[in-house]
Amino acid sequence: MTEPTRLYRDSDGRLVAETRFRARFCETDQMGIVHHAAYITWFEVGRSAFTRAIGYPYSEMEANGLSLAVAEVHARYHRPARYDDEVLVLTCLTEFPSRGMSFAYEIRRAADHAVLVTGSSKHISIDHQGRVVRIGDAIRDRIVGAAREQLGTG
Amino acid sequence: MTEPTRLYRDSDGRLVAETRFRARFCETDQMGIVHHAAYITWFEVGRSAFTRAIGYPYSEMEANGLSLAVAEVHARYHRPARYDDEVLVLTCLTEFPSRGMSFAYEIRRAADHAVLVTGSSKHISIDHQGRVVRIGDAIRDRIVGAAREQLGTG
Amino acid sequence: MTEPTRLYRDSDGRLVAETRFRARFCETDQMGIVHHAAYITWFEVGRSAFTRAIGYPYSEMEANGLSLAVAEVHARYHRPARYDDEVLVLTCLTEFPSRGMSFAYEIRRAADHAVLVTGSSKHISIDHQGRVVRIGDAIRDRIVGAAREQLGTG
Amino acid sequence: MTEPTRLYRDSDGRLVAETRFRARFCETDQMGIVHHAAYITWFEVGRSAFTRAIGYPYSEMEANGLSLAVAEVHARYHRPARYDDEVLVLTCLTEFPSRGMSFAYEIRRAADHAVLVTGSSKHISIDHQGRVVRIGDAIRDRIVGAAREQLGTG
């Protein structure tokens, strides 16, 4: 399958994974718009797309014993998405300390690129027992390297 | 806490767990009613309430190594629930073969007992490796016994 | 955007819309697999894709005053989907009476086409006041015609 | 029904609505804990409980033509809730400007009152056409008055 995700550097040099899909009917609420909690799950879709795009999918990270527990999430709602709207989720890795990762997000309407929701999330790296752990150099190098390689700027 | 669940035998002698709660805003969709998939999760709330009411919570069953994988689900929609409606979920154990359980459900509006949704689900007993297993006599006796004892008809 | 949906006639001559996407992390449960209620929302994604593929999106149907209330849903679970699995949802219009529509679904794993979930749903056509209405000839012709034209068999 | 919500002033004099319920199975994810987006919907349950507890349910507010669009949400995750855990959602109205409301939340485990999640949300008052509107004095007085009366401190 052609992934509906593309990876690029934005004008500030930040690595961005942009993934696109349509708002689902079940994601709307009785106000006739997408429910505010749905965007939090779209941020997660963005993170998944980001890790897949750089060549190290989160599913593989988990198989290697590393999970990213969510420590904090923030969202600001600018304009609503509606059922069947095609949206873009833009995801950036903003911090990569020894024991976690932080991401920033922009959700845009594909039709006119209007900004719908912006946000961020902070994650702690834990093992399968739930203990906070350092992200090993092997994994770190792989993420950093994958991003570099993927963009052909190694 | 006083559980919002009561256990009784209905006029047909069937053991019923009745639990009550309110429809959540996030469960509505743009038609202004509770989304049809939400009732499937309410059936599950009903099963949880049933097992808790008979004194053998599903969480304990899982801790004892037994899970109930969903094999089939059916729902018929009669009238919609709306945001903030108080609803009753009535749950019955309808079959208890050696390797599973089946349940029947009725979702009613608390205000007038109008039937909103009826349905059923069929489950297969599996272990933590996902293999189909017989429900051990110890667990079976406990469920049957719990139901009997709980109702004081032992 | 290239829609991730294709429309074709299967070997039985039935019109099938096949749409593909990945299972989301938030759709999993503590059994490590996609929660059974999530597939019900995937059926809905399949319906949306079907109507879009035949050239008459459900969003447009709703804008024209016609909604499809869910009257019944049935699902049979064969194998679980897991986080990040790419899945195919195959959707067929199976009945098209004067006051509704019925659909059948197959959810398959894209990697090996293994059948994960099969199911069906039955819908009643209602207006914005929630009254059951006949699907007008204009709309009916358009759906039937759209399907025919889309497949170039007009 | 006895509402599972109580209203009281905390030691800082803030009006708190405390509502309790159990974590649902469908709210867990494959990490074995409640998914982080579920708490955002619990905040909403808390807001609903708050408005009901002060005698002016949000459903009535909407019927009177006033909706509260979510402008911002923030959550900090301290400890996970698990399936079937009984939780308390504590909700406070923290700001009540002319065109909106802000709320703060604490989600605690009922068993030991451990803080699981804290957060806040900011809302804009809109009419049914989605236009930002002043919250009329009648409604404002009613909310303020309801809170006062409910607590018998009028």
Confidence (pLDDT) at D154: 45
Express each pLDDT in A126-136 by its tens digit.
998 889 999 98
Q: Is D76 in Cβ contact with A75 (below 8 Å)?
A: no
Instruction: Tell me the torsion sign for CA atoms A90, C18, C120, C48.
Output: positive
Which residues from D are below 8 Å from A when comparing CB atoms? 31, 36-37, 40-41, 44, 67, 69-77, 80
Contacts of residue C152, defined as CB under 8 A and 6 or more positions apart, other chains included, come to: none
- The pair of three-digit structure tokens given for residue B119, joined into one six-digit string: 């349905």
Quickly state the pLDDT bin for C150 (edges 50, 70, 90).
low
D61, D65, D66, D67: CA torsion to nearest 10: 90
Chain A residues with CB-CB distance to C21 below 8 A: 21
Averaged over B80-107, what is the pLDDT?
96
Tell whether the torsion through CA atoms of C42, C44, C46 and C49 is positive or negative. negative
Distance from CA of A56 to the nearest CA of B (A): 27
Cβ pairs bridging A and B (under 8 Å)? 28
Q: Crossing angle, helix B36-53 and helix C36-53, to 10 degrees?
A: 170
pLDDT in tens, C84-143: 999 999 999 999 999 999 999 999 999 999 999 999 999 999 998 889 999 988 778 877
Would you list which residues of chain A are within 8 Å, Cβ to Cβ, of chain D? Answer: 31, 36-37, 40-41, 44, 67, 69-77, 80
pLDDT of res. A136: 83
Mutate which: D5, D34, D59, D109, vs B, most B CBs within 10 A? D59
What's the CA gap between B8 and A7, in Å, rounded?
59
Nearest CA in chain B to D26: B41
Q: Residue C154's pLDDT is what? A: 45
- Please state, in angstroms and rounded to a whole number, the distance separating the CA atoms of residues C65 and C61: 7
Q: What is the pLDDT of residue B151?
A: 67
pLDDT at A42: 98
Contacts of D11 (CB under 8 A, 6+ apart): none
**pLDDT value for A132:** 95
Distance (Å) from the alpha carbon of D41 to chain A's nearest alpha carbon: 7
- For residue B1, pLDDT beyond 60: no
Helices (H), chain B: 36-53, 58-63, 137-150
Nearest 5 degrees, angle CA A65-CA A121-CA D30?
40
Count B/D contacts: CB-CB distance under 8 Å.
43
Q: Please indicate whether, in this complex, the C-beta atoms of D59 and B83 are within 8 angstroms of each other.
A: yes
Residues of C with CB under 8 A from a CB of D: 25-26, 28-33, 35, 37, 83
Q: Which of A39, A36, A47, A17 is nearest to A123 (CA)?
A: A47
Subunits adjacent to chain C (3 or more Cβ pairs under 8 Å): A, B, D
* Nearest residue on chain D to A43, alpha-carbon basis: D37
Write down the pLDDT at residue D118: 98
Which pTM value belongs to this model?
Answer: 0.95
pLDDT exceeds 60 at position A1: no
Mutate one of C25, C27, C30 to test the D interface: name it (highest D CB count within 10 A). Answer: C30
D139 pLDDT tier (thresholds 50, 70, 90): confident
How many beta-carbon pairs below 8 A join chains A and D?
48
Cβ distance D86 to B1 less than 8 Å, yes or no, reads yes
**Angle between the D36-53 and A36-53 helix axes, to the nearest 10 degrees?**
170
Of C78, C74, C72, C73, the C-alpha closest to C117 is C78
Interchain proximity D30–C29, CB inside 8 Å: yes
Chain D residues with CB-CB distance to B1 below 8 A? 4, 20, 86, 110
Among B14-18, B81-85, C9-13, C92-96, which stretch is predicted with the lowest mean pLDDT?
C9-13
Least confident of A74-88, B34-48, B117-131, C133-147: C133-147
Of B1, B2, B57, the CB nearest to D84: B57
User: Can you read off the two tokens belonging to residue A83?
Assistant: 């059922």
ipTM for this model: 0.93
Percent of chain B with pLDDT over 70: 94
In chain B, % helix, strand, coil (3-state, to 5) comes to 25, 40, 35
Which chains contact D through at least 3 pairs of Cβ atoms less than 8 Å apart?
A, B, C
What chains are in contact with B, requiring at least 3 Cβ pairs below 8 Å? A, C, D
pLDDT at D142 over 70: yes
- pLDDT for B154: 45
pLDDT surpasses 50 at B81: yes
* Among chain C residues, CA nearest to D38: C26
pLDDT at B150 over 90: no
The answer on pLDDT for B99 being more than 70 is yes
A48/C84 touch (CB, cutoff 8 Å), yes or no = yes
Q: Is the pLDDT of residue C147 over 90?
A: no
Tell me whether residues B84 and D58 touch, CB distance under 8 A.
yes
Query: Cα(B77)–Cα(B74) distance, rounded to whole angstroms?
Result: 10
Which is nearest to D104 in space by CA: D87, D89, D88, D124? Answer: D89
Lowest-pLDDT range, A47-51, B19-23, B60-64? B60-64
